[in-house]
Amino acid sequence: MSLTCQVQVILNNLSKEKAETVKRALEPDNVNFPEGLSLYIENIDNKLVFNFESKKSMKKLISTIDEVLEHVQVALKVIE
């Protein structure tokens, strides 16, 4: 049996410029993901939307979400 989990994290009230800057800052980290794990980031209006999907380990999914959000926090502090 295969289990797929999708998680969407939305950051609201970001200017389009901030959202784009954070997205670009994360792009180098969005390569060579473990097999079965993916991340797609998109700007929608004043939101930055993170779409995570895991077809394997829930632990890896949770730790990846945590790591990405830590990087987002750092990026936002740097650009403010």
> In the β-sheet with 37-44, what is the strand arrangement from edge to edge?
5-11, 47-54, 37-44
Residue 16: per-residue pLDDT:
87
- Residue 37 carries which side chain, given as an amino acid letter? L
HEC secondary structure over the chain: CCCCEEEEEEECCCCHHHHHHHHHHHHHHCCCCCCCEEEEEEEECCEEEEEEEECCCHHHHHHHHHHHHHHHHHHHHHHC
**Of 1 and 12, the one with more pLDDT:** 12
pTM of the predicted model as reported, rounded to 2 decimal places: 0.86
Residue 56: per-residue pLDDT:
84
Q: Which CATH class is domain 5-79?
A: alpha beta
Parse the chain into domains and list their residue ranges: 5-79
Q: What is the pLDDT of residues 13-67, one digit of tens each?
A: 998 889 989 998 888 766 677 788 999 999 988 899 999 999 988 888 999 899 9
Residue 76 binned pLDDT confidence (cut-offs 50, 70, 90): very high
